[in-house]
Structure 1
């Protein structure tokens, strides 16, 4: 009978819904942000969620300036701040923002 080897299962940290102003690099590993793209350059985008703005490093550039997006980011702590690296960017232009705010605040 073949010997059965145990495999280690690695679980990714889930993305915690956050406002930009609430991000804590000491506690947060992955965050989910929802906001408006206010600027976009080569490899980065600036997201405004109403509480603050953040520069997000993004390989994919499927977000349009002025559009609403949900971004799943990895929070990378730096010496005096943090860096946000996008993993997934979702177009949320069809989202009813009034309803969203009623449900999620």
Structure 2
């Protein structure tokens, strides 16, 4: 008999404006941190902004943890929690993308 393994759903890439709390469980958002306070960051992905509840720090390319700073480019892996009116995003992983070539990124992902 095969051992049971807990598996997470994949985090689907989403624009903030496309988030549907009835269908989305885990998502990932690419954007810029425009505000932060205790336990939350606000990310702007160009389509809209989202407040993300998180107490975790971002991980850089070397695996080192750093606090999020305003104007950082990040990818945030989130859990979508439906509410009576809207949803709440809970950050699970934050990856730093400050050194990303934005021209190449747009060529690959936004022109398809």
Is the radius of gyration larger for structure 1 or structure 2? 1
Summarize the alignment of residues 23-102 of structure 1 with structure 2, pairs less than 5 Å apart: 23-61=19-57, 62-102=67-107
CA RMSD of aligned residues (A): 1.1
What secondary structure sits across from 1:103 in the alignment? helix
Query: How far does residue 6 in structure 1 lie from its aligned partner after superposition?
Result: 5.5
Distance 1:64 1:97 in 2: 19
Superposition deviation, residue 10 in structure 1 = 2.7
| Deviation digits for residues 36-92 of structure 1 (CA, Å, limit 9, x no counterpart) | 000000000000000000000011242110110000000000011100000000100
Q: Deviations over 1:2-40 (max 9, x none)?
A: xxx654333210000000000000000000100000000
Unaligned ranges ≥5, structure 2: 58-66
SS of 1:100's equivalent? helix
Aligned length: 101
Counterparts of 2:103 and 2:52 in 1: how far apart (Å)?
25
TM-score w.r.t. length of structure 2? 0.86
